[in-house]
């Protein structure tokens, strides 16, 4: 029988003394990694007669898939909705800093902006794998400008747009290119939105419903045309009403096409949604819940004035408002904080909390065969956490890219 070296000369690393999140359960077994992928140890032993080159003692840590943030507007003074000359260095800074929050992949998110901003910024965003320099970029999330004036939230009204006669062409002209776009948030009650949803879906772009006054039947129609996500459930949409539950009603709708799942984002920061609302959503549709930070440039910075695209926002503790108002505008929460708050607020299992930030966003984007799980042959993007779900170390492609040092930094 061939030795493991005939299959690959790459070193095999065995992570021991850990509990691995696999098949929705924490299992006491070792994790084997080679060439950035998770290995099946049985194949290694029996087919290759191989063994580990390096063993690492995880000291009883939890090993979970890396977190995936599909809605993050910026952080550490960087605003993804501002067209700057050093945009690339800004996105690099954020992708490096969020490694300490356990985020191994993300979708840089642009809020409603003038076309010139999309035309300048989008060509500077490229899909890339993560590594020692930062988390991987899965593609942009364009939140607006095709959204409702009544539920614009922190989006600037003068930049909002509607679909005219050539609906999809309007969208293309506004954005300039869809090459690196992964998610588009729009309001489904807009005229001609159905054809836009179909065109985006055809191109493999995830359509999310948000910043909207849609009723339930309009939301259901959007899902039937291909929409699969809800942007920050409860925020910037009609409140639940028992006679017409609006977009929220999608969580228990019987009009979802067979075999399809609607996912919904939640900002679990203790500010954007009351813990009771978080519990209601989770109990109604646990497999669709996707934790998002909706973090803005002020994340990681001191309170004060910062930007969110075209607006000035004020950070006051954990609250972020459009300056001079009480309109919430994104969050300053980190993904690991959202995971801990979600688990605390809902009383859900550790496994459920971790999957809401890893497996579910991967399923939403259709990348669960390589991200969001620790299944054999998937990417070795994972975290070591303690029992209280604080991140101790972050790994991308099997390589340590961040570790908490002894001083707790």
Which residues are part of a known binding site?
143, 154, 211, 232, 235-236, 243, 272, 328-330
Q: What is the dihedral of CA 255, 258, 259, 261, to 10 degrees?
A: 0
Distance of CA 54 to the CA centre of its chain: 32
What is the rounded end-to-end Cα distance, in angstroms, of the chain?
47
Q: Which residues contact 34 (CB under 8 A, 6 or more apart)?
A: 8, 10, 11, 12, 13, 398
Residue pair 67/21 in contact (Cβ under 8 Å)? The answer is no
Residue pair 83/117 in contact (Cβ under 8 Å)? The answer is yes
Give the Cα-Cα-Cα angle 145, 80, 150 (nearest 5 degrees): 30
Q: Omega of the bond prior to 145 within 30 degrees of 0, cis?
A: yes
DSSP 21-66: EETTEEEE--EEEETTEE--HHIIIIIT----SEEEEEEEEEEEEP
Residues in the chain: 409
> In angstroms, rounded to a whole number, what is the distance separating the alpha carbons of residues 292 and 194?
26
Buried b (16+ CB within 10 A) or exposed e, 67-98: bbbbbbbbbbebbbbbbeeebeebbebbbbbb
Residue pair 126/84 in contact (Cβ under 8 Å)? The answer is no
3-state secondary structure (DSSP) of residue 265: strand
Out of 294, 336, 379, 381, the active site residue is: 294
DSSP E strands: which ranges in 239-368? 263-266, 289-291, 304-308, 311-316, 319-322
Q: Decide if 294 is catalytic.
A: yes
Separation in Å, CA 282 to CA 237, 246, 263, 288, 341: 18, 17, 11, 8, 13
Q: Which residues contact 276 (CB under 8 A, 6 or more apart)?
A: none
Catalytic residue set:
294
């Amino acid at each position: 029988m061939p030795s493991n070296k005939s299959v690959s000369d790459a070193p095999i690393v065995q992570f021991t003394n850990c509990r691995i999140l696999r098949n929705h359960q924490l299992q006491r077994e070792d994790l084997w990694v080679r060439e950035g992928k998770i290995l099946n140890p049985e194949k290694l032993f029996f087919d290759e007669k191989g063994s580990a080159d390096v063993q690492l003692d995880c000291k009883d840590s939890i090993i979970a898939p890396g977190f995936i943030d599909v809605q993050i507007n910026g952080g550490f003074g960087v605003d993804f909705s501002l067209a700057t000359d050093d945009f690339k260095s800004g996105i690099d800074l954020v992708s490096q800093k969020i490694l300490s929050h356990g985020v191994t992949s993300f979708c840089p998110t642009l809020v409603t902006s003038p076309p010139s901003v999309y035309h300048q910024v989008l060509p500077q965003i490229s899909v890339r794998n993560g590594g020692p320099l930062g988390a991987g970029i899965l593609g942009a999330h364009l939140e607006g400008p095709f959204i409702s004036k009544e539920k614009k939230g922190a989006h600037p009204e003068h930049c909002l747009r509607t679909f005219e006669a050539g609906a999809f062409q309007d969208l293309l002209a506004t954005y300039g290119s869809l090459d690196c776009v992964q998610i588009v948030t729009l309001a489904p009650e807009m005229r001609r939105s159905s054809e836009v949803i179909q065109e985006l879906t055809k191109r493999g772009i995830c359509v999310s419903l948000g910043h909207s006054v849609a009723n339930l039947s309009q939301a259901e129609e959007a899902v039937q045309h291909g929409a699969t996500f809800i942007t920050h459930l409860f925020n910037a949409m009609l409140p639940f009403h028992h006679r017409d539950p609006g977009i929220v009603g999608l969580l228990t709708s019987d009009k979802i096409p067979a075999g399809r799942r609607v996912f919904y984002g939640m900002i679990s920061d203790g500010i954007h949604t009351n813990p009771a609302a978080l519990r209601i959503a989770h109990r109604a549709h646990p497999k669709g819940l996707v934790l998002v930070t909706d973090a803005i440039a002020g994340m990681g910075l001191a309170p004060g004035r910062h930007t969110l695209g075209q607006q000035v926002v004020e950070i006051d503790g954990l609250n972020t408002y459009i300056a001079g108002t009480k309109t919430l505008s994104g969050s300053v929460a980190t993904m690991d904080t959202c995971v801990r708050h979600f688990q605390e607020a809902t009383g859900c299992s550790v496994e459920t909390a971790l999957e809401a930030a890893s497996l579910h966003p991967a399923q939403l984007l259709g990348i669960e065969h390589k991200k969001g799980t620790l299944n054999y042959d998937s990417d070795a993007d994972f975290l070591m956490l303690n029992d209280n779900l604080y991140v101790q170390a972050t790994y991308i492609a099997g390589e340590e890219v961040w570790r908490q040092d002894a001083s707790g930094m």
